[in-house]
Amino acid sequence: MKVMKFGGTSVGSPERMKEVASLVTKSGEPTFIVLSAMSGTTNALVEISKYLYKKNPDDANRVINDLEEKYLSHVEELYSTEKYKTITKDFLFQEFNYIRSFTNDLFTSFEEKSIVAQGEIISTNMVTNYLLEQGFKTILLSALDFMRIDKNAEPNSTYIKEKLSSIMKANEGYQIYITQGFICRNAYGEVDNLQRGGSDYTASLVGSAIEAEEIQIWTDIDGMHNNDPRVVDKTETVRQLNFEEASELAYFGAKILHPTCIQPAKYSGIPVRLKYTMEPDAEGTIINNVLASRKIKAIAAKDNITAIKIKSSRMLGASGFMRKIFEIFESYQTPTDMIATSEVGVSITIENDAHLTDIVDELKLFGTVSIDTNMCIVCVVGDLDWRNVGYETITLETMKDIPVRMISYGGSNYNISFLIRAVDKKRALQALSDKLFC
């Protein structure tokens, strides 16, 4: 069975919902679909929660009313029979009453999570009703019955697999199985979620739990590009990526897929395919365990980087120096990205500079500290195993006119990263594209 996940824009209007229905029923084969909330809804629900935290029920009610009105108008457009219009209106009536009930309550993060969960609950009910109206044998499975996170907010994959398998067994013979992305229960059984954008994660967890043949993530982008299309001319969709390559790209700014989302699929060896809703027949990008030997696949960049250099003769031959340096970053919960070391110095980059001043003050106890701001990491991804001779030369050659502040190679077999000034980013990305892909 395939898992097909559709994001907020893909179910963003009645018209889009109809397209989703035709996409998922086209093959005639049993399919498991995971849906986000309609675009804008999760934000509206978060806004309602914010007003309720601030004890401002009037503004909360205003947003609730607007949202309700929008959904009621969707009903008229989506369904053609009175029967399904009535069923869905009754459902929405209950939903919005439920959301309104929180305007009288003491408001905590528990209530917020319950409110925010309603976006996916609504979209899945609407699409289920549409598919039923169209005569497809469809069942809506509540994610709250099988998606669970543990005390560390990590998905409990053993529980998910056991629960979902038994639910699927008890409900054999349907053509379409639908569930909500994003929402789950926590270790205490309360309604919770997998963080914003978490529907991709749901799809990957579901796919691995039911041992799907493929997990498809349908979006409004035509797959992963070999460079940033907003910056560089003539980028192309990458047809295939190894899971490791996809993770490197995701970390370094290709916003299309969060790296943790694909972990469950990766461990179960289930291919993930990125598909474009506007061109359903296009292949998109497939992410699997295959590694195309000696191929550079893509380039990505990460903006707003600050580089910090600590120079100290105490570092020479000393042990424990690095640990002390990194403990400072840890104590300010500041993740580090690139590192370069010499015998008497170390350079480290960070993206989050909220605690920069404090960090620098503490680092000064270890040596001379200097900072470069407005930097950018450019990352070249592919089969870059060190035994494949010559790839560093090709990429470095391309950067010959660009001042390079740091280079990182050998951290994994899949990337070479350069730290350059933000002002040189466009030039660097274009040069790399021209050299590596044209």
The entry of ligand ASP, Mg ion, none that residue 42 binds, CB within 5 to 8 Å by partner kind: ligand ASP
- Between the two ends of the chain, the Cα-to-Cα distance in Å is 38
What is the torsional sign of CA 86, 88, 89, 94?
A: positive
Write the CB contacts of 349 (distance below 8 Å, at least 6 apart in sequence). 305, 306, 307, 308, 336, 337, 338, 339, 375, 377, 406, 419
Applying CB under 6 A, among 4, 8, 84, 208 the residue interacting with ligand ASP is: 8
Q: How far is 397 from 404, CA to CA, in rounded Å?
A: 12
- DSSP states of 240-267: EEEHHHHHHHHHTT-TTS-GGGGHHHHH
Q: How far is 162 from 247, CA to CA, in rounded Å?
A: 28
Interhelix angle for 391-398 vs 425-437, to 10°?
A: 130
**By C-beta, is 64 or 205 nearer to Mg ion?**
205
The entry of Mg ion, ligand ASP, none that residue 198 binds, CB within 5 to 8 Å by partner kind: ligand ASP
The entry of Mg ion, ligand ASP, none that residue 395 binds, CB within 5 to 8 Å by partner kind: none
Q: How far is 2 from 394, CA to CA, in rounded Å?
A: 40
12 scored as a contact of ligand ASP (CB under 6 A): no
φ/ψ of 143, rounded to 5, equals -60, -25
Q: What Å distances lie between residue 370 and 38, 327, 348, 349, 389, CA to CA? A: 47, 18, 11, 12, 35
Stretch near Mg ion under the rule CB under 5 A, chosen from 156-164, 189-197, 288-296, 377-385:
189-197
What are 20's two structure tokens?
């989703």
Q: Would you give the binding string for ligand ASP spanning residues 16-45, x where CB under 6 A is met?
A: --------------------xx----x---
Is 42 known to sit in a ligand binding site?
Answer: yes
Provide the strand spans (E) within 258-367: 272-276, 285-288, 296-311, 336-341, 345-350
Shortest distance, CB of residue 262 to ligand ASP, whole angstroms? 14
Applying CB under 6 A, among 12, 14, 119, 223 the residue interacting with ligand ASP is: 119
Is 275 known to sit in a ligand binding site?
Answer: no
The entry of ligand ASP, Mg ion, none that residue 243 binds, CB within 5 to 8 Å by partner kind: none
The entry of ligand ASP, Mg ion, none that residue 247 binds, CB within 5 to 8 Å by partner kind: none
**By C-beta, is 117 or 232 nearer to ligand ASP?**
117
**By C-beta, is 144 or 428 nearer to ligand ASP?**
144
114 scored as a contact of ligand ASP (CB under 6 A): no
Applying CB under 5 A, among 7, 12, 119, 155 the residue interacting with Mg ion is: 7
Stretch near Mg ion under the rule CB under 5 A, chosen from 7-15, 152-160, 179-187, 274-282:
7-15
Q: How far is 321 from 316, CA to CA, in rounded Å?
A: 9
The alpha carbon of 420 is separated from its chain's Cα centroid by a whole number of angstroms, namely 26
Is 5 known to sit in a ligand binding site?
Answer: yes
Is 6 known to sit in a ligand binding site?
Answer: yes
Applying CB under 6 A, among 70, 196, 294, 364 the residue interacting with ligand ASP is: 196
Is 202 known to sit in a ligand binding site?
Answer: no
Applying CB under 5 A, among 30, 40, 57, 197 the residue interacting with Mg ion is: 197
Write the CB contacts of 290 (distance below 8 Å, at least 6 apart in sequence). 240, 242
- Kindly determine how many residues on this chain lie close enough to bind ligand ASP according to the rule CB under 6 A: 12
**Which positions touch ligand ASP (CB under 6 A)?**
7-8, 36-37, 42, 119, 181-182, 196-199
